[in-house]
Amino acid sequence: MRKTTKDDAPPLREMVRKGVSGAKRLGKTACRVLGLDFLLPPGDPVFFDIELSHRCNLSCRMCWYHGTRGIGDRYGDRELTRREVFDFVDRIAGYKPGIYIGGTEPFVRSDFLPILGHVKSHGIPVSFTTNGLLLDNDKTAELLSIGVDTIYFSIDGDREIHDRERGRGSFEKATAAIRRISEFKKARSCSRPVVRVNMTINNRLLGGVERAICSIRNATNDGFDSLVIHLLRYITPGELSKHREAVLRSLGCRAPGAASHLAPDYEVPDPAALADEIAGIRDLPKISMFPDLGRGDLVHYYSDGPCARKRCIAPLRGVVVKPNGDVLFCPDEWIDDHVLGNIREQDIAEIWKGEKARKFRSALFRVKQFPACKRCSWMYAFG
Ligand code: SF4
C-alpha cells in the first residue's frame, strides 16, 4: 500500500474538513426534520420585521389593515418614536440580522428615511414594501444615497385591476416610481435598490396573468429587477374556525386578526387552470413565484389540500415588532394576540428566550403548524 506523503496532506485535510462540515449539515437537517431544534435553546434571532406604522395613505380593498375586512390601525399615537427605533436597531445590530420594514405604507412616517439611514449605518441589509405613491424625486435620490437593499412594490395587475383595488391613478404613480428608481440607478451606475414587483394572484387575474405582466413591464420600461407572482394570503371561514380552535387549545389565544384574511370574493375557483396558466409563464425573463410551489402544491394552496411544508420554523429565526413595540412571532395578524413582550419594557434577548416565546415554540413543536400557517409567508420564507 502506498504510504501517505507530505503532498497528500492538503487533499486529506480538505477531505476531512468537507466530511466534518457535511456531517454538521446532515445533523442540522436531521434536527430540522425531527423538530429537535425546537428542544434546544434557540440561536440568536436573524430576522426582524419592524412595523413602523399601521396608518396608510390608501384603503386598498384586500388589505388586512384598511380593506373591506381590515382591522384598522390599532396603535394610533402609541407608535415607537424615532429615538426608540434607533435604540432598538443599535441593540439588535450585534445579531447581524436582516431587517424588513413591514406594516402599512412606511412613507406615512416622516422619519422613515432617517430610520433607513440609521439601519444602513450599521451595515444591516434592509428592505421594505411600498405602494409607491409617496415616492418623489427627492426621496428616490435619498434612498439611493442611503444604500437601501431591496424595495418591493405591490402592483395587483394591469392599470384597470390595480386602480380598481387601490384607487384611480395609483397604477400610474406606482409604475412612475419604479421608472424613476431605474433611471436614477442607471445614472449612478448602481444596482441597488433591487426593485421587486409583488403581484398577488387572485381571481381577478385569472386568464390574464401574462397580460398583466406585460402591462407592468411596459409601464415601468422594464425597470424592475424581478416580478414575483405572489400567492394570495387568505383563509376560508372553515379554516378560520379550525385555526382559532387550534390556537386556543395550544396557546390560550383567540387570533382575532386572522379574520382580516377572509376573502371569499378573491378565491380562485379553478386552481388547476391557474397552475397551468402560471406554468406557461414561469420561464419568462425576471419572473419568479412566492411561495415557489410545484403544480400539485399550488393546486392544494388554492383549495383545501395539505400544506406544502411540514412545520413552521419561523420562531427559531426572527420576530415581528409592532408599531408600539410589542413583539410577536407571526406576521400579518395570523396569531396577533400572543405577545411575547414589548421592547419598551424588556431587552429583546430576554423576550426572545422568555416564557411566552418558549410556550409558543413548544406548542409549535407539538402541532408542527396551525391551520392558517398554510398561507402564511413565513412558513415558506425560512426554508
Ligand atoms: S407559519 Fe404559522 S406559526 Fe409560523 S409564523 Fe406563520 S402563522 Fe406563525
Q: Which of 313, 327, 333, 334 to mutate to test the pocket of ligand 1 (most atoms within 8 A of CB)?
A: 334
Give the ligand 1 atom nearest the CA of 312: 4
Short-list 111, 53, 121, CA closest to 82: 111
Residue 5, pLDDT score: 47
Q: Is the dihedral of CA 381, 325, 328, 27 positive or negative?
A: positive
Kindly give the distance from the C-alpha atom of residue 261 to the centroid of ligand 1, in angstroms, as a whole number: 14
Among the atoms of ligand 1, which is closest to the Cα of residue 370? 2
- Whether 99 lines ligand 1, by a CB cut-off of 6 Å, is no
Distance, CA of 106 to CA of 223 (rounded, Å): 22
Q: Which of 338, 376, 377 for a ligand 1 pocket mutation test, highest count of atoms within 8 Å of Cβ?
A: 376
Going by alpha carbons, the residue nearest to atom 2 of ligand 1 is 373
Taking the C-alpha atoms of residue 237 and residue 259, their distance in angstroms, rounded to an integer, is: 8
pTM flag (> 0.85) = yes
Closest-lying ligand 1 atom to the alpha carbon of residue 335 = 7
Using a 6 Å cutoff on CB, does residue 302 contact ligand 1? no
Residue 329 Cβ contacting ligand 1 at under 6 Å: yes
Q: State whether the beta carbon of 335 lies less than 6 angstroms from ligand 1.
A: yes
Q: For residue 233, what are the contacts with CB-CB under 8 A and spacing of at least 6?
A: 64, 200, 261, 332, 375, 376, 377
> Is ligand 1 within 6 A of the CB of residue 379?
yes
Quickly count: other Cβ atoms within 10 Å of residue 181's Cβ. Answer: 26
370 CB within 6 A, ligand 1: yes
One pLDDT digit (tens) per residue for the chain, 383 residues: 444 444 555 566 776 677 777 776 776 666 666 666 777 788 999 999 999 999 999 998 889 999 989 999 999 999 999 999 999 999 999 999 999 999 999 999 999 999 999 999 999 999 999 999 999 999 999 999 999 999 999 999 999 999 999 999 999 999 999 999 999 999 999 999 999 999 998 888 999 999 999 999 999 999 999 999 999 999 999 999 999 999 999 999 999 999 999 987 778 889 999 999 999 998 999 999 999 999 999 999 999 999 999 999 999 999 999 999 999 999 999 999 999 999 999 999 999 999 999 999 999 999 999 999 999 999 999 87
The reply to whether ligand 1 has any atom less than 6 angstroms from the CB of 232 is: no
Residue 86 CA to ligand 1 center (angstroms) comes to 27
Please identify, by atom number, the ligand 1 atom nearest to the C-alpha of residue 379: 1
**Dist. CA 255 → ligand 1 center (Å):** 12
In angstroms, the CA 359 to CA 236 distance is 27
Atom of ligand 1 nearest to the CA of 334: 7
**Distance of alpha carbon 253 from alpha carbon 352, whole angstroms:** 19
Cβ neighbours around 142 below 10 Å, total: 14
Contact yes or no for 42/91 (Cβ under 8 A): no
Residue 151 phi, psi dihedral angles, 5° rounding:
-125, 130
- Side chain identity at 302, as an amino acid letter? Y
Tracing cell 395570523 back to the chain, one arrives at: 334
Q: Which residues contact 116 (CB under 8 A, 6 or more apart)?
A: 101, 126, 128, 143, 146, 148
| 347 CB-near residues (< 8 Å, 6+ apart) | 91
- Give the residue among 40, 16, 18, 46 at the shortest CA–CA distance from 28: 40
* Per-residue confidence (pLDDT) for residue 38, from 0 to 100: 78
CB 316 less than 6 A from any atom of ligand 1: no
Check pocket membership of 247 for ligand 1, CB cut-off 6 A: no
pLDDT of residue 3: 47
Other C-beta atoms within 10 Å of 76: how many?
12
d(CA 66, ligand 1 centre) in Å: 22
CA 35 to each of CA 243, 278, 363, 365: distance values in angstroms, whole numbers, following the listed order:
21, 33, 12, 7
* CA-based R_g, the chain, Å: 22
- Helical residues (DSSP H) of the chain, grouped into ranges: 9-34, 82-92, 112-121, 137-146, 159-166, 170-188, 209-219, 237-251, 271-279, 295-301, 348-353, 355-367, 377-381
Ramachandran area for residue 125 (φ above 0: left; ψ -120 to 50: alpha; else beta): beta
Asked whether 195 and 225 are in contact (CB, 8 A), the reply is yes
Residue 102: in which H helix or E strand, if any? strand 98-102
329, 337, 366, 367, best to mutate for ligand 1 pocket (most atoms within 8 Å of CB)? 329
Determine whether the shortest distance from the Cβ of 330 to ligand 1 is under 6 A.
yes
Which pairs count as long-range contacts for 344-347, CB under 8 Å and 24+ apart, including other chains? Answer: 344/80, 344/84, 347/91
Looking from the CA of 124 toward its CB, the CA atoms found within 13 Å total 28
